[in-house]
Chains A and B, each alone.
Chain A
Amino acid sequence: FSYKAKKNTIYMSVNQQDLDPDSTTDVEVVTDTEEELIKECEEIWKDMEECQNKLSLTGTETLTNSNAQLSVLIMQVKCLTAELSQWHKETPEITPLTEDVLITLGTEEFQKLRHDLEMVLSTIQSKNEKLKEDLEREQQWLDEQQQIMESLNALYSELKNQFVTFSETRIFSELKTKMLNIKAFKEKLLSTLGEFLEDHFPLPDGNVKKKKKNIQESTKQLITLHEILEILINRLFDVPHDPYVKISDSFWPPYIELLLRNGIALRHPEDPTRLRLEAFHQ
């Protein structure tokens, strides 16, 4: 069992030994610190060699599948207990903190710190750049949106104006004036028509030569062409489905002929005594 324990202290020192040769790479260290460190390393190396010699004296054993588990487990237990006791015993040694060692350690730390800070700086700078770009982009977007807003507002106010002037009373008065205008125009047309008809189609003067014997029918008072037309127009608009007017004696026959021949009036297809006005408006 003591062999195993020794073996395990060897394990420990073997594990730790590898660290020390690495730390003697400080070229700037003053000679005596260096010498001290080298001395320490050499001592450790001597210990190592001793342990190595002792190790090579221990025998070897191989395992078979049947005894493997048990023996390995037992071995592990022993080694772990030995390691544990070793850890308990050992106190950590620090390298003597002479000025030179402190300086080198300090410079190392500062260099590391500087490196880290430089990394942080570059990260932050790139982040900054990105944020600036983002800000610019957002600003542009905002400007565009504002422009859109303005044009929309203008459009809205335009439309609003149009809408506001669209009130009822205004329409009403407009319609009224329209009607008055149309009425006036109609009056004008009628009066012009009347004048025209009077000028060019007067009633016959002196009337028909009266043959007291032949003419038994008392000639009624003849109405003007204007009046005939009026009768026809009124009939057409009052009774659209039967716009026929009976020809009465007050119609002067030549004028009737005139109307018929010029297509202004039409005879009833079955009744020659009836007339209608041609429907010019349809």
Chain B
Amino acid sequence: MSVLRPLDKLPGLNMATVLLVGSEDALLQQLADSMLKEDCASELRVHLAKALPLPSNVNRPRIDLIVFVINLHSKYSLQHVEESLHHVDASFFLGRVCFLGTGAGQEHHCSLHRNTVLKLAHTYRSPLFFCDLEVEDFRATMAQRLVRMLLICAGHVRGVSALNLLSLLRTSETPPPEEL
């Protein structure tokens, strides 16, 4: 039952909500804090979740943007995200979903290849960002970008819809063929 649907409720006044899904609590928390520090005219809400489906007993506002955070250091996080993707309504993928890969900076810790995540983002035709969430400066920049995306997805920016933004952002091109 509990499939996440976009536009399932009326929007709150001046409110924008983002849902961060990922298996690493600490990273999500840090990213949430950085996003809330950003200066913007609208009221931001950040929800954190380890996996979908979300518990249905909680009264929550409608979700404007879902960010799937994949940690390149653990295959476990990719598995979680893939399973959660099945609980998302198809219409979310019209620009209200994006993928975020973290931990690409430390090559020797990475158990996931970049291409795997690239392929995933390409399959769902959604934008993919790479950012080392542990480094504060990168995190702050990423938070800024996510907040701007969120504002557009929530409709607070006149003349640009989430779908427009999606077409403007270059979705990942066909990933290079698997290296043997």
The reply on A56 being an interface residue by CB < 8 A is yes
Residue from the list A63, A80, A83 in contact with B85, Cβ < 8 A: A63
Q: When the two chains form their complex, are residues A61 and B82 in contact, meaning their CB atoms are under 8 A apart?
A: no
Mark each residue of chain A from 79 to 91: 1 if its CB lies under 8 Å from any CB of chain B, else 0: 1100100000000
A65 in contact with B123 given A17-B155, A55-B7 (CB within 8 Å):
yes
Q: When the two chains form their complex, are residues B7 and A14 in contact, meaning their CB atoms are under 8 A apart?
A: yes
Q: When the two chains form their complex, are residues B155 and A72 in contact, meaning their CB atoms are under 8 A apart?
A: no
Residue from the list B7, B90, B155 in contact with A61, Cβ < 8 A: B90
The reply on B33 being an interface residue by CB < 8 A is no
Mark each residue of chain A from 26 to 65: 1 if its CB lies under 8 Å from any CB of chain B, else 0: 0000000000000000000000110010011000111111
The reply on A73 being an interface residue by CB < 8 A is yes
Q: When the two chains form their complex, are residues A83 and B161 in contact, meaning their CB atoms are under 8 A apart?
A: yes
A18 to B159, CA, bound (A): 12
Closest to B95 in A: A76
Residue from the list B8, B10, B85 in contact with A49, Cβ < 8 A: B10
The reply on B125 being an interface residue by CB < 8 A is yes
A60 to B92, CA, bound (A): 10
The reply on A169 being an interface residue by CB < 8 A is no
Q: When the two chains form their complex, are residues A60 and B89 in contact, meaning their CB atoms are under 8 A apart?
A: yes
Residue from the list A18, A52, A63 in contact with B14, Cβ < 8 A: A18
Mark each residue of chain A from 1 to 38: 1 if its CB lies under 8 Å from any CB of chain B, else 0: 00000010011101111110110000000000000000
**Which residues of A are found within 8 Å of B72, using beta-carbon distances?**
none
A63 to B5, CA, bound (A): 13
Q: When the two chains form their complex, are residues A75 and B90 in contact, meaning their CB atoms are under 8 A apart?
A: yes
Q: When the two chains form their complex, are residues B87 and A62 in contact, meaning their CB atoms are under 8 A apart?
A: yes
**Which residues of B are found within 8 Å of A72, using beta-carbon distances?**
90, 93-94, 124-125
Interface positions, chain B 59-103, Cβ under 8 Å from A, are: 82, 85-91, 93-94
Q: When the two chains form their complex, are residues B86 and A62 in contact, meaning their CB atoms are under 8 A apart?
A: yes
Q: Which of B17-25, B106-114, B139-147, B163-171 contacts A (4 or more CB under 8 A)?
A: B163-171
The reply on A139 being an interface residue by CB < 8 A is no
B97 to chain A, nearest CB (A): 10
B169 to chain A, nearest CB (A): 13
B81 to chain A, nearest CB (A): 12
The reply on B13 being an interface residue by CB < 8 A is yes
Closest to B152 in A: A15
Q: When the two chains form their complex, are residues A63 and B7 in contact, meaning their CB atoms are under 8 A apart?
A: no
Binding site for B on A (CB under 8 A): 7, 10-12, 14-19, 21-22, 48-49, 52, 55-56, 60-65, 68-69, 71-73, 75-76, 79-80, 83
* 8 cross-chain pairs, A with B, having the tightest CB-CB distances, nearest first: A15-B155, A72-B125, A60-B89, A61-B90, A72-B93, A18-B155, A60-B3, A68-B123
Binding site for A on B (CB under 8 A): 3, 5, 7-11, 13-14, 82, 85-91, 93-94, 122-125, 154-156, 158, 161-164, 166-167
